Amino acid sequence: MKEKPAKEKSSRKRPRLRRVDHKLGVPAGSLVHVGEVKTDRPRISLIEFDAAGCDERSFASVAEAREFKPTRQTVWLNVHGLHEPEVMAEIGRRFHLHPLTMEDILNTTQRAKVDEFASYLFIVLRLIDVDRSDGQLNSEQLSLVLGRDFVLSFQEQSRGIFEPIRERMRARQSPTRERGADHLAYALLDVVVDRYFLAVDHLAEEAEALEEEAMSSPSPALLARINRCKRDTLTVRRAVWPLRELLGTLQRSERSSFSPETRLYLRDVQDHAIHVLESLDAVRDQLGDLLDIYLSSVSNRLNVEVRVLTVLSMLFMPATLIAGIWGMNFVDMPLSGSRQGFWWVIAMMGLCAASMGLLFWRRRLLTREE
User: Which domain range does residue 340 map to?
Assistant: 305-362
> Is residue 3 a part of any domain in this protein?
no
pLDDT for res 16: 43
> Is residue 368 a part of any domain in this protein?
no
> Is residue 115 located within the same domain as residue 174?
yes
Which range has the worst mean pLDDT, 10-14, 109-113, 324-328? 10-14
> Is residue 310 located within the same domain as residue 347?
yes
> Is residue 201 located within the same domain as residue 232?
yes
> Is residue 247 located within the same domain as residue 334?
no
Helix (H) or strand (E) holding 345: helix 341-362
Question: Could you tell me the CATH number of the domain that includes residue 320?
Answer: 1.20.58.340
pLDDT tops 60 at residue 19: no
> Is residue 357 located within the same domain as residue 212?
no
Distance in angstroms (rounded) separating the CA atoms of residues 76 and 146: 10
> Is residue 205 a part of any domain in this protein?
yes
> Is residue 5 a part of any domain in this protein?
no
At residue 128, the 3 state secondary structure works out as strand
> Is residue 46 located within the same domain as residue 133?
yes
Which range has the worst mean pLDDT, 247-256, 273-282, 332-341? 332-341
pLDDT for res 245: 86
> Is residue 2 a part of any domain in this protein?
no
* Burial status of residue 38 (CB atoms within 10 A of its CB: 0-12, 13-18, 19 or more): middle
Q: Which of 296, 315, 333 is the last residue of a domain?
A: 296
Bridge pairing between strands 74-80 and 53-59: unpaired
Looking at the DSSP bridge assignments, the partners of residue 170 are: none
> Is residue 9 a part of any domain in this protein?
no
pLDDT for res 12: 40
> Is residue 47 located within the same domain as residue 150?
yes
Mean pLDDT score of the chain: 81
> Is residue 6 a part of any domain in this protein?
no
> Is residue 338 located within the same domain as residue 286?
no
> Is residue 100 located within the same domain as residue 199?
yes
> Is residue 146 located within the same domain as residue 269?
yes
User: For residue range 84-124, what is the model confidence (pLDDT) as tens digits?
Assistant: 888 888 899 989 999 999 999 998 888 889 999 988 999 99
> Is residue 127 located within the same domain as residue 270?
yes
Phi and psi torsions of 232, nearest 5°? -65, -40
User: For residue range 58-83, what is the model confidence (pLDDT) as tens digits?
Assistant: 887 777 777 788 888 899 999 988 88
Looking at the DSSP bridge assignments, the partners of residue 121 are: 116, 146
> Is residue 173 a part of any domain in this protein?
yes
Task: Taking residues 336-362, report their average pLDDT.
Answer: 77
User: For residue range 189-212, what is the model confidence (pLDDT) as tens digits?
Assistant: 999 999 999 999 999 998 888 888
pTM of the model: 0.75
Question: Could you tell me the CATH number of the domain that includes residue 24?
Answer: 3.30.460.20
> Is residue 95 located within the same domain as residue 232?
yes
Distance in angstroms (rounded) separating the CA atoms of residues 45 and 25: 34
Structurally, the chain folds into a number of domains equal to 2
101: Cβ contacts below 8 Å, ≥ 6 apart: 92, 115, 117, 122, 145
